[in-house]
Chains A and B, each alone.
Chain A
């Protein structure tokens, strides 16, 4: 079945550092891909999405590119802030499927 694998956490960075959180997936066809973020004490929020190969999703300085050849959707940000501290989830929605399949999440901590 469909699955998502994220890089192991936790990840700790200093403010203004470059961020990459790796995400790879297994699915048939061309799924839609998502990054969700969960801030402390809050619900999941959609951060960005991509629906076809080579699409780039972007929001709040975060970017991720749908790479079909490597089945990846890595999350990047050029300069992180303390306020980016949260848990990040990569997810997919398979072709014809209605549910989201999530990775295990990556906890990110940014130190000032």
Chain B
């Protein structure tokens, strides 16, 4: 079990640039989630996929954000025209149905800084 991996771990970008993050879930997990965590707060849900289908999106996910999971394996999260308010830790999690619930396993996160 190699765990959930995320790349890059850190990204510094200038306001207005586009950025893309990648998440590789645990191999047998069919669900994948994205969360955003700002300093001193708990993670907030952005979106989730079951296999390649995106089944729910938070209102936090503005039109500048797009997430894909094209083959039901890895996922990408793209932010277009970044703003300083996008600075946060972006967390990915994956899950498998076990014991009556989907238990989520988190990756280390990608820390985005928009200057």
Contacts and interface: CB of A to CB of B under 8 A. Distances in A.
Interface of A: 4, 32, 36, 42-46, 49, 51, 89, 91, 93, 98-105
Contacts, number: 56
Contacts of B100: 51
A42 B3 CA distance: 13
Interface residues of B, number: 27
Given A51-B100, A89-B43, 8 more contacts: A32-B101, A36-B106, A43-B4, A43-B108, A44-B91, A46-B105, A98-B102, A105-B41
Could you say which of A4, A43, A93 has the most chain B C-beta atoms within 10 Å of its C-beta? A43
B45 A101 contact: yes
Contacts of B40: 104-105
A99 B101 contact: no
B104 interface: yes
Contacts of A93: 101-102
A69 B60 CA distance: 32
Contacts of B43: 44, 89, 100, 102
B25 interface: no
Contacts of B74: none
B33 A105 contact: no
